[in-house]
């Protein structure tokens, strides 16, 4: 990657900062996914990776390629948009499946308070 | 019968097409064709045209949500690192009675709730408009019903209803 030398140091640092932020958040999300006690809680952790985790990496990528001027930089905007629009689908399917199972087996979800009204 | 049953879908698909292939006249024609076809396909799923009544409110909502996402990312990351304030964190369900019935508004609300770590959309009951939300960090005294309704729902109703 010889063209990396064309990057001004300030921009390189900025990009490194954004990419580091994104990857750290994604890593924390996966750690949470492994370590949290209940299913509903584990549902929250990966959203770190799909919100600012993804945004950090994408902003870094946009900065890098707009500085180098090698191509138009709105690919990342579409990537971010598609990630944001598709995550809720998976999330709802998983959440409702868990809820359905808990209702069918007649128990309150483990590690959590039940809703104010009893689960139907 | 109109050529553009869903103008927003058509425009977005056309731009996406040109971004992925190239900004030439030929690709614009092909992209428009794909966009128009996409609009018709989308009508099979959503028959009524989606109308954004207040683009200004949309921009305000966008800025607000962007800020909330940053904040909640920080909160959840810290909770994971500190083992949930040393096991004192309590997660739980919250029921939120929604006044909004517009499907587009509800869809955008679902995207917002999912994109902000710490809240998960579990179930929406169309019969009584109740939304079941799972909250990662249920702090005593935090009024989630008020938060969702005043921060997002009122703006979304302005935009779509």
Mean pLDDT of chain A: 82
Residues 6+ apart with CB under 8 A from A23: A53, A56, A57
Per the CB < 8 A criterion, the answer to whether A91 and A43 are in contact is yes
Q: How far apart are CA B140 and CA B155, in angstroms?
A: 26
Give Cβ neighbours of residue A25 (< 8 Å, ≥ 6 apart): A48, A49, A52, A53, A56, B73, B77
Confidence of residue B5 (pLDDT cuts 50, 70, 90): confident
Whether B110 has its CB under 8 Å from any CB of chain A: the answer is yes
What is the per-residue pLDDT across B48-82, written as a single tens digit (0 to 9) for each? 888 888 888 889 999 999 899 888 888 888 888 88
CA distance B138 to A111: 13
Least CB–CB distance from A88: residue in B70, B114, B123:
B114
Report chain A residues whose CB lies below 8 A from the CB of B93. 109, 112-115
Instruction: Please give the residue that has the higher pLDDT: either A100 or B33.
Output: B33
pLDDT at A119 over 70: no
Tens of pLDDT along B82-131? 876 666 778 888 888 899 888 888 999 999 998 888 888 988 888 888 88
Sign of CA dihedral B145, B108, A113, A118: positive
Distance (Å, whole) CA A99 – CA B16? 37
What 3-state DSSP class applies to B5? Answer: coil
CA distance B70 to B68: 5
Please, which residues bridge with residue A113 across strands? B92
Cβ distance B115 to A51 less than 8 Å, yes or no, reads: yes
**Sheet with strand B119-125: strands edge to edge:** B92-97, B130-135, B119-125
d(CA A43, CA A41): 5
CA distance B135 to B153: 17
Q: Is the Cβ pair B111, A84 closer than 8 Å?
A: yes
pLDDT at A9: 86
Set of chain A residues whose Cβ sits within 8 Å of the Cβ of B119: 44
Complex ipTM, two decimals? 0.78
- Residues of B whose CB is below 8 A from A38: 91
Q: Which residues on chain B are in Cβ contact (under 8 Å) with A115?
A: 92-95, 132
User: Where are chain A's structural domains?
Assistant: 7-99
What is the rounded distance in angstroms from the CA atom of residue B22 to the CA atom of residue A96? Answer: 41
């Amino acid at each position: 990657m010889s063209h990396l030398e064309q990057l001004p140091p300030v921009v390189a640092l900025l990009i490194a900062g954004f990419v580091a932020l994104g990857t750290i958040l994604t890593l924390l999300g996966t750690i949470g996914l492994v370590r949290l006690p209940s299913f509903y809680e584990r549902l929250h952790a990966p959203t770190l990776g799909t919100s600012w985790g993804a945004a950090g990496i994408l902003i870094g990528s946009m900065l890098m390629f707009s500085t180098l001027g090698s191509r138009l930089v709105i690919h990342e905007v579409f990537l971010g948009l598609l990630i944001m629009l598709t995550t809720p689908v998976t999330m709802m399917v998983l959440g409702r499946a868990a809820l359905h199972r808990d209702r069918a087996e007649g128990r309150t979800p483990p590690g959590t308070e039940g809703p104010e009204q009893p689960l139907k | 019968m109109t050529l553009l049953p869903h103008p927003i879908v058509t425009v977005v698909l056309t731009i996406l097409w040109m971004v992925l292939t190239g900004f030439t006249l030929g690709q614009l024609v092909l992209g428009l064709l794909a966009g128009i076809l996409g609009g018709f396909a989308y009508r099979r799923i959503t028959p009524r045209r989606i109308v954004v009544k207040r683009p200004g409110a949309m921009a305000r909502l966008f800025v607000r949500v962007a800020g909330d996402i940053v904040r909640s990312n920080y909160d959840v990351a810290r909770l994971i690192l500190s083992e949930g304030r040393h096991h004192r964190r309590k997660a739980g369900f919250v029921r939120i009675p929604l006044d909004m019935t517009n499907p587009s508004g509800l869809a955008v609300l679902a995207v917002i709730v999912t994109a902000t770590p710490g809240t998960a959309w579990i179930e929406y009951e169309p019969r009584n408009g109740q939304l079941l939300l799972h909250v990662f960090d249920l702090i005593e005294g935090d009024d989630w019903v008020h938060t969702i309704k005043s921060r997002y729902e009122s703006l979304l109703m302005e935009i779509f209803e």
